[in-house]
Structure 1
Amino acid sequence: MFILEPIETKNLHTVLSANDLQIGYKSKNVKSIIASNIDFDVNQGELVALIGVNGVGKSTLLRSLIGVQDALDGNISINNKSLKNISPEDLSELISIVLTEQPISKNLSVFELIALGRQPYTNWIGTLGKRDIQQINTALELVGITELRDKKCFELSDGQLQKVLIGRAIAQDTPLIILDEPTTHLDIYHQAYILKLLKKLCVQTNKSILFATHEINLALQLCDKIVLMQPDKVSVGSPKQLIENDSFATLFPSDLIVFDKISNSFKIKT
């Protein structure tokens, strides 16, 4: 399996930073801690995967990073400004979000759904200006769905709809895009297609993309950095660094699945 080398980061701007982060839930005076000591950066143009077993806290971390859920401790910064000090209006120009099961009207056309990404910039009645139209057309082209622009969303396959949702995030024109399991419900070909599309968008637009995924073998091949969540620790590094540190050795119970360092992939134990 081919592993991408980490891109040079010393001259890149840090778009998202989590410092000594503690996440979980707070009820009255009781804290339910899910994960602590989380430290990582997402730099300009990086594709970063958030991986871990079910229930380890990936969705909780994403909700904390986008401001939907308060972190228990630590600091989250976007473009060197604390998330706590960013208004919802300003945040919509910094982060665009693609959720797994987000409510959308499938009676909208592809163009109309992508146009929703321009809401932070349009007037109160949502009138699209020349720049808005240009951004929408650019998004259609970047994700390769220009020929679908007039189709209704209910006519699309799951893979096509996922590309439309990514197009909406591109049209929003934020420096950071966060996705929660963007390959859910897709076959292996379209899983690879979507993740390769995300990598291409990082290269072509210089945007930063952070996504949660269970497609670990694909993430190892395509990502610049991985945030590996485990019940007792959070490890961060390039795929190559994490493999060399044996970080994946204890991710799953070894009676069924093992990490093969020869192929750099998980395999079923036989």
Structure 2
Amino acid sequence: MPSSVISFNQVSLGYVKGRTDQLLVRDLNLSVANRQLIALVGANGAGKSTLLRTITGLQKPLSGTVKLFDKPLDTLNAKTLAHYVSVVLTGQTEISYLKTAELVAMGRFPHTGWLGRFSVTDRQKVEAAAHQAKVTPLLEKPIYQLSDGERQKVMIARALAQDTPIMILDEPTTHLDITNQVNIIQLLRTLVKTKNKCIIFSTHNIELALQVSDRIWLMHQQTISDSVPEDLVLSGTLAEAMSTELAPFNPESGTFQVQHSSSHPISLKGAGTRAVWTRRALERTGYLVRSQEPVSIKIGSDTSWIVYHKNQPVSSAQSIESLLHQLSQLYSSLSHP
């Protein structure tokens, strides 16, 4: 197998509007190794879908050369391309009155003869794909009866049945709850490591991408930053590209933290999980947590929270809801003695 399964040489991406090229990525030079799970992230409009469509041959680059397995993409016919790349794109249309099993089986069409006859191997691939994507119970249902999340998993099963060395997925976890999101991503990781695949998926869930990806492609300023997740964070590149004033990126936690308006200063003493969630509750409800303030909270050794004013205990609470209620009353009394 070539050292690079995908390569970009001086590639510029975008679209033509009128007589003008609308440039999204300029002069991209990038090589993709095998056995990589790559998360593609970036702001809306950065060109994520355009990049994926270009890799799959659905859209031509404005300039430059894209190669799959050292072969120029524009020299590959549809059948050859279907042996190399399987695709799950947003907005794909399906025949709603097909059964789920029939839609998954469509993934095997590049491998069947011109009569479309299924071999034992083809059927085994379809069954395995349905099992891996956890859609086996849905196989006898028509597509129109499926929820958006179920349909998304079926489209992934179809791509799995195609059994290609490269998989391209545009926001594969859209419409899925957190359990199914993690199941799909873990499945992709397993395929990369055990089936020698290269998988590229776009996502808006950057926090999840940081935890599971081998590499991250960050699209910003008409270029792509290609790095392992940790270096992308430590270099400050991710924060620079994706942080906003309302939700800056916290490199220590690997999360985007929503900024709340604060009106009442308060201090918090304690550590551990209860302290973390107490602080989050305080900041969410408008308190400014600082080190030394007249009003303070101490995390009790049991399950209590003790409220102090000028180092004197004034109340205790057995839940965060109760604590917030008592603080509201305390600040009200301090404002209107």
TM-score by length of 1: 0.88
Name the aligned partner's letter for residue 122 of structure 1. Answer: T
Matched, 1:21 2:21: no
1:88 counterpart letter in structure 2: A
| Mapping for residues 102-117 of structure 1, pairs under 5 Å | 102-117=92-107
1:228 to 218, 241, 258: 218
Tell me if the contact between 2:7 and 2:68 (Cα under 8 Å) persists in the aligned partners: yes
Is residue 77 from structure 1 mapped to residue 67 from structure 2 by the alignment?
yes
- Given residue 219 of structure 2, which amino acid in structure 1 is its aligned partner? M
Whole-angstrom distance in 2 between the partners of 1:222 and 1:201: 13
Paired residue type of 2:229: P
Segment drifting more, 186-195 vs 48-57: 186-195
Where do 5+ consecutive residues of structure 1 fail to align? 1-10
The one of 173, 178, 185 aligned to 2:175? 185
Q: Aligned with 2:111: secondary structure?
A: coil
Name the CA shift for 1:232/1:145 in 2 (closer, same or farther; >3 Å).
Answer: closer
Could you list the per-position Cα deviations for residues 51-104 of structure 1 after superposition, in whole angstroms to 9, with x for gaps in the alignment? 100011111111211111111122211111111221122111111110112111
Aligned partners of 1:245 and 1:118: how far apart in 2? 43
After TM superposition, list the pairs within 5 Å mapping 1:48-127 onto structure 2.
48-127=38-117
Higher helix proportion? 2
Q: 3-state DSSP class of the match of 1:68?
A: coil
Tell me, in whole angstroms, the C-alpha distance in 1 between the residues paired with 2:146 and 2:191. 22
Q: CA separation in 2, counterparts of 1:157 and 1:27? A: 36
Pair 1:198-2:198 in alignment: no
Question: 1:41 Cα deviation (Å)?
Answer: 2.8
Which one of the candidate residues 223, 236, 242 is aligned to 2:232? 242
- What is the CA–CA distance in structure 1 between the aligned matches of 2:2 and 2:77, rounded to whole Å? 25
Alignment-derived partner of residue 8 in structure 1? none
Higher relative contact order, chain-length normalized (CA < 8 Å, sep 6+):
1
Cα distance between partner residues in 2 of 1:28 and 1:153 = 38
Code of the aligned partner of 2:133: V
- Normalised by the size of structure 2, how large is the TM-score? 0.71
Maintained 8 Å contact 2:39/2:203: yes
How many aligned positions are there? 260
1:40, CA displacement in angstroms? 2.7
Alpha-carbon distance change, 157 to 13 in structure 1, aligned in 2, over 3 angstroms: farther
| Residue pair 1:142, 1:201 contacting (<8 A) in 2 also | no
Shift of 1:167: 1.2
Q: Tell me how far 1:179 sits from its aligned partner.
A: 0.9
Instruction: Report the CA distance between 1:249 and its aligned residue.
Output: 1.5
Aligned match of 1:38: 28
CA shift in 2, pair 1:104/1:27, >3 Å: same
Relative to structure 1, is the Cα distance of residues 121 and 232 closer, same or farther in structure 2, using a 3 angstrom cutoff?
closer
Q: Which residue in the other structure is 2:163 paired with? A: 173
Once the two structures are TM-superposed, the CA of residue 181 in structure 1 deviates from its matched residue by 1.1
C-alpha distance after superposition, 1:16-61 (max 9, x if no partner): 1223221112468643222113233332221111110001111111
Q: Is the CA contact (8 Å cut-off) linking 1:47 and 1:202 kept in structure 2?
A: yes
- Quote the Cα distance in structure 2 between the aligned partners of 1:22 and 1:232: 9
Q: How far apart are the structure 2 equivalents of 1:155 and 1:21? A: 42
Contact 1:65–1:76 (CA under 8 A) maintained in structure 2: yes
Percent of pairs identical after alignment?
39
Amino acid at match of 1:196: Q
